[in-house]
Amino acid sequence: MRKHKPVPRSRWHASQKHLLNRWKRKGLKLERAKIELTLLPLLLQQSKKYPENAAILEIGCGPVCVSQFLPHKHKTFLDPMIDDFRRMFPGELPEEGEYIASTAERIHKESNSYDLVICLNTLSFSLNPELVVNEIERLLTSDGTFILEIRTHSQTEARLHYWAMRLLPQLSKGMAPYCYSLRGIRRTLERHFTVEKEQLLGKKFSWLPFIKRDKRLFICRALHKRTNQVIS
């Protein structure tokens, strides 16, 4: 499947409500500690090449807002449920930084506004991933970096998910609106960026042979820069 067709907005709203309910059962400090341990060192490694006054955009920041721990002055935290998270975790979100309570398909910022764009476990939960990637490409500076974390699935599972979303929407309320295979996300990114690094973060095994779920990190740059280093 070359491009995902956007899901109905009602289906996306159901997914967002499900995510919000999941956060009600989670411990923010524990989730934040997990990300600080696993992903923050990778983010710090990529961000250190930019000066202190660099601009960072975190898409789908949730209540964790991991980019708050990067040593840069200008942070923008974007999440459609950011006001819900403020009420759910009073006083826990960063005091400094700009907050945007909207989806990422259309961000009201000038082109070339950000040196670093971070999107962790968010693209599959967006309203229209293709438009989100277009917007990230527009907002990124010519020497900027886009960091994507995403869970990939086998092609069979991705196809089954696609048809379940359209034929059995009532049975798929707890599922992410989109399900990418590894080949699918590579194709999506390569239409907009050069994938400089691809890193396997973890695997989830299942007794079903057609289910294969990997958590991956992609380091992307503008198309004119090409190094093609892949870490497995």
Segment among 44-48, 86-90, 127-131, 220-224 with least mean pLDDT: 220-224
Cβ contacts of 37 within 8 Å, gap of 6 or more: none
What CA–CA distance (Å, rounded) separates 146 from 18? 27
Q: Has residue 47 been placed in a domain?
A: yes
Please indicate, yes or no, if residue 2 is contained in any of the structural domains.
no
Give CA–CA dist 32/11, Å, rounded: 28
Is residue 1 included in any domain, yes or no? Answer: no
In a domain, residue 208? The reply is yes
pLDDT digits (tens, 9 = 90+) for 93-120: 999 999 999 999 999 999 999 999 999 9
Q: Is residue 230 part of a domain?
A: no
Share of the chain above pLDDT 70, in %: 88
Put simply, whether the predicted model's pTM sits higher than 0.95 gets the answer: no
Q: 53 pLDDT exceeds 90?
A: yes
- Helix and strand numbers (H, E) in the chain are 7, 8
Residue 194 located in a structural domain: yes
Tokens representing 3 are 């491009």
Structural domain contains residue 56: yes
Into how many domains does the chain fold? 1
Rounded Cα distance between 229 and 71, Å, is 26
Which residues have CB under 8 Å from 30's CB, separation 6+?
Answer: none
Contacts of 169 (CB under 8 A, 6+ apart): 8, 11
| CATH number of residue 36's parent domain | 3.40.50.150
Q: Note the Cα 231 to chain centre separation in Å.
A: 19
Strands 140-153 and 114-120: parallel
Residue 196 included in any domain: yes
Identity of the amino acid at 93: L
The residues that bridge with 75 in the sheet, in sequence order, are: 56
Residue 141 domain boundaries: 9-221
pLDDT tens-digit map of 175-230: 788 999 999 999 999 999 999 999 999 887 666 666 788 999 999 998 764 444 44
